[in-house]
Chains A and B, each alone.
Chain A
Amino acid sequence: MKRILVIGSGPIVIGQAAEFDYAGTQACKSLREEGYEVVLINSNPATIMTDEETADAVYIEPLTPEFCERVIAREKVDALLPTLGGQTGLNLASLLADRGILDKYGVQLLGTPLSAIRKAEDREEFRALMREIKEPVPESWIVESNDDLKALLDHAPYPCIVRPAYTLGGTGGGIANSPEELWEIGQRGLKLSMRSQLMIERSLLGWKEVEYEVMRDRAGNCITICNMENFDPMGVHTGDSIVVAPSQTLSDFEYHMLRTASLKIIRALGIEGGCNVQLAVNPDSFDYYVIEVNPRVSRSSALASKATGYPIARVSAKIAVGRTLDEIENQVTKTTKACFEPALDYCVVKIPRWPFDKFTTGDRTLFTQMKATGEVMAIDRSFESALLKAIRGLEVQSKDLRHPKFSAQSEEELKTSVRQPTDERLWAIAEALRRRWPIAEISRLCRVDKWFLVKMQNLIEAEQALGQPDHEGTEQNVARALQLGFTPSQIRALAPESPRLEAALSNRSSRPVHKMVDTCAGEFESKTPYYYATLGRDSDDVLIELNEGEGASQAVIQTQIELGVSSEAR
């Protein structure tokens, strides 16, 4: 094996964005490091991966089987790596295999076998596999008559979702909270369905949504890169959810129960490379359900990769050509192996970026279909300051938790805004906290975990304290606000002008330091980490090697921009 074809990510569309360019570029570099020649095909020239130096040969051609075949023939490609270009790459590889093109040219498929990918993506096959390995999937039933429905009333889990089959846009469905409601909605649904068929499924609305990024190599070694907890509960697509890493409200037992389940799944599927497992977790018990598996590098992998410093795509590419995790070097520390689990000593907050400022008439309601077109990620030593950094990075109208739309709303209107998931709900929740609605009431409406709400309350209290006329406590209020992550310019905007305010802001302890994302929480020395700004005792030594000094410092600056730390912000 000498020449490897990498399929790029194609056009940037909603739900599949530039993260696959990032992954594909890493993969190409990684394969060339291993001594392979890389041929790249991508229809999107506005990507990093199509830069001349990324691959040995770059084809900017439509991502169709016909064009792929021509590239395979012309470049005498020995192998194909499809798992790093998102769904586009996978689908294309599938077509090439089905049409016998891979066999015709003797092209070996690298990474996760297609059969494993199908097993993960086909709903019925996946459910069967989960039953086989005793991992819970949400129960569901097909109901085709009133008798079927009657028989189900006693043992259906409530609430449950009723979906009539073959109706336009799912009309006639609904959520049943009791046998009475199920009977009513079910009967109506059976009449509306063209084939008199209903699908009834356990509703997980309001459960915690937790994700695990896991990796497996051909030898069967499995690791977790990172887990993530969604701020928005089940019901909102994870791409549209605010996400934190690592999880905050899971105990050690729960963390490892779900980790064990995720590793069991990646083993059972036989994935070779990275994989994302999504789980719904009951906030009041140990119950959980496996929702979905992405058998490839995904949007979440890109987030996990940047959140931890672990180069998921790079390592996945090496696994695809047969290397095992214990052979691959940890690129960040350069002293340890890729076979370990990153330890974070900071909190990561991701907020999606929606295009509603461009599509002003778009429906802002969020549900299970992703609407975001991008995301920002922020890192800090507390949730509060990471959240504020992320908000500043969004480049939306609000630079903090204030929003004129919600401060103008009536109590009733605000209730709806808190209940209904939209791109602006974060600010609606903030307004509810500002009006001192009880946390329990807000949590009941939006089903966001109390942990997040209390942290937001800390921010609102700091904001309100700053708004007081200047008094003896000003200095303390400013110190607290800085600690929580407000910037001096934000503090000046919130607090009345005073010499005390200026004195507090010029205090030496309000200057940020820079700490490393080093994959190991400081346990080992790191050679190529990146940095985030925070308030703290001291900075990590900035390691810039002389011969590549310029490149290294550029990398640091670039990362800070990605993290939403603009010079204005600090």
Chain B
Amino acid sequence: MSAYLVLQGGPVLEGIPLGAPGTTTGEIVFNTGMTGYQEILSDPSYAGQIVLFTYPLIGNYGINADDFESDRVQAQGLVVQEACTVPSNWRTSQTLHQFLLEKGITAIQGIDTRSLAKRIREAGVTMAAITHGPPEDALRALQQAAAYDDSDFVLSVTTKAPYAWGYAGKEPIESDASGYRAKIVVLDFGLKHNILRRFAALGIRSVVLPATSSAEEVLAWNPDGVLLSPGPGDPARLGFAVETVRELLGKRPLFGICLGNQLLCHALGGQTYKLRFGHRGSNHPVKDLIDQTVTITSQNHGYAVHADSLAGTGAEITQLNLNDETVEGIRSTAYQASSIQYHPEAAPGPWDSRKYFVQFLEQISKN
């Protein structure tokens, strides 16, 4: 039995079925991380996308109960060279295939992922379809699929109702809020759990609000600071969120991560643009221009801040990617707002940038 992967305007590749039968579509992107497939599949920033791993052996340590970054699988599909059938790790509870099957995710293996990643690198990201049926199914689905760039994903991944996250993890908003060093509001555009875990580890209680919350609703919680979360899609389509951020400027210290960085950029008057094939992996070097240190970062973004667009906005560039010199961090001292483009919460990826959570804590503790 075969499965097929079809790229828009590109080749039809034959592989072996993996996960749930069916047909799926999405923007195909590649990730160069050698570990972290479980975190990546459950990261809401991958909504609308089919993830291809360049590391050929995926599923080696199986799926465990702890390493999810949200409550469900967010990626549309998965492309691997080889999915491990007998994983080995003390926490393993399922194989990758069993997990995908249970969650209804259609995937494909037996694909030369290096060859395909190179194609994406050269031609840019594109829409793709995977099918466990005849290749015509994939073609048809591809014709009917809405383009990634024209879709809104934030509204489908954000929380429907507010909730809190404290020392004990996710909890009802009315649970005991005493015993914390600070409390913040997290605007959920596609949040990863590890951001909340990092805050809790520092003694910060988070109140998580839906993406559509107004500045007034945010301020009603009287937070010490506000986190603008990561999330999927084009920031330029999120006018309502940019408006909220603009109204919050100067009212509370702000910290943005990934999409949050791009929203802050827009709120300050800057622009963003789409990268040809994005940055997705666990090995990107970023230089902090303030303290001159270089850290290896976990990245997952398809859009970036336009450096020149920040001129005259009062915002300054604080961090740069050493590979391609794209903007990795900005700040506005006047508004006590700062943000970074990559993932200091890791999961997956290096833990080197945890200091930015501490910096945010220091900033909100000062006020």
Tell which of B57, B283, B352 touches A347, judged by Cβ atoms closer than 8 Å.
B57
Of the 9-residue stretches A19-27, A44-52, A357-365, A514-522, which lies at the interface with chain B?
A514-522
Contact A522 B121 (CB under 8 A): yes
B269 within 8 A of A: no
Instruction: Give B335-367 as 1s and 0s: 1 = Cβ < 8 Å from A's Cβ atoms.
Output: 000000000001111111000000000000000
A285 within 8 A of B: yes
B64 within 8 A of A: yes
B118 within 8 A of A: yes
Of the 9-residue stretches B85-93, B141-149, B150-158, B300-308, which lies at the interface with chain A?
B85-93
A187 within 8 A of B: no
A367 within 8 A of B: no
B202 within 8 A of A: no
**In the docked arrangement, what's the CA distance between A256 and B116, Å?**
28
A188 within 8 A of B: no
Tell which of B91, B282, B293 touches A220, judged by Cβ atoms closer than 8 Å.
B293
B32 within 8 A of A: yes
Contact A342 B60 (CB under 8 A): no
B292 within 8 A of A: yes
Contact B322 A381 (CB under 8 A): no
B323 within 8 A of A: yes
Name the interface size band of chain A: 35 or more
Q: In the complex, what's the smallest C-beta–C-beta distance from B260 to chain A, in angstroms? A: 22
Residues of B within 8 A of A249 (CB): 60-61, 88-89
Residues of A within 8 A of B57 (CB): 248, 347, 382-383
Q: Name the prevailing secondary structure of the A interface residues.
A: loop
Contact A522 B294 (CB under 8 A): no
The number of residue pairs between A and B whose CB atoms lie closer than 8 Å in the complex comes to: 159
Instruction: Give A277-303 as 1s and 0s: 1 = Cβ < 8 Å from B's Cβ atoms.
Output: 000000111000000000000000000
Contact A339 B56 (CB under 8 A): no
Residues of A within 8 A of B82 (CB): 381-382
Contact A339 B285 (CB under 8 A): yes
**In the docked arrangement, what's the CA distance between A285 and B89, Å?**
9
A221 within 8 A of B: yes
Tell which of B56, B85, B118 touches A346, judged by Cβ atoms closer than 8 Å.
B56
User: Taking A284-B90, A325-B294 as contacts, is the C-beta distance between A250 and B61 under 8 angstroms?
Assistant: yes
**In the docked arrangement, what's the CA distance between A344 and B281, Å?**
11
B114 within 8 A of A: yes
Residues of B within 8 A of A263 (CB): 352
**In the docked arrangement, what's the CA distance between A306 and B43, Å?**
34
Q: Which residue of A lies closest to B39 (CB)?
A: A252
Q: Which residue of A lies closest to B113 (CB)?
A: A345
Q: In the complex, what's the smallest C-beta–C-beta distance from A100 to chain B, in angstroms? A: 37
Of the 9-residue stretches A198-206, A388-396, A404-412, A534-542, which lies at the interface with chain B?
A534-542
Name the interface size band of chain B: 35 or more
**In the docked arrangement, what's the CA distance between A105 and B213, Å?**
71
A141 within 8 A of B: no
User: Taking A343-B54, A345-B55 as contacts, is the C-beta distance between A326 and B285 under 8 angstroms?
Assistant: yes
Residues of B within 8 A of A254 (CB): 89
Residues of B within 8 A of A221 (CB): 293-294
Residues of A within 8 A of B352 (CB): 222, 260, 263
Tell which of A340, A454, A536 touches B322, judged by Cβ atoms closer than 8 Å.
A340
In A203-226, which residues have CB < 8 Å from any B CB? 219-224
Q: Which residue of B lies closest to A347 (CB)?
A: B57
Q: In the complex, what's the smallest C-beta–C-beta distance from B228 to chain A, in angstroms? A: 25
Q: In the complex, what's the smallest C-beta–C-beta distance from B7 to chain A, in angstroms? A: 13
Residues of B within 8 A of A343 (CB): 32-34, 54-55, 281-283
Q: Can you report 24 residue pairs joining A to B where beta carbons are below 8 Å apart? A: A246-B35, A246-B55, A248-B60, A248-B61, A250-B35, A252-B33, A252-B67, A252-B348, A255-B34, A256-B348, A259-B350, A335-B323, A339-B294, A340-B296, A341-B296, A343-B282, A345-B117, A346-B56, A347-B56, A382-B57, A451-B88, A522-B118, A523-B117, A523-B121
Could you tell me which A residues sit within 8 Å of B by CB distance?
Answer: 219-224, 246, 248-256, 259-260, 263, 283-285, 325-326, 335-337, 339-347, 381-383, 449-451, 454, 515, 520-525, 536-538, 540
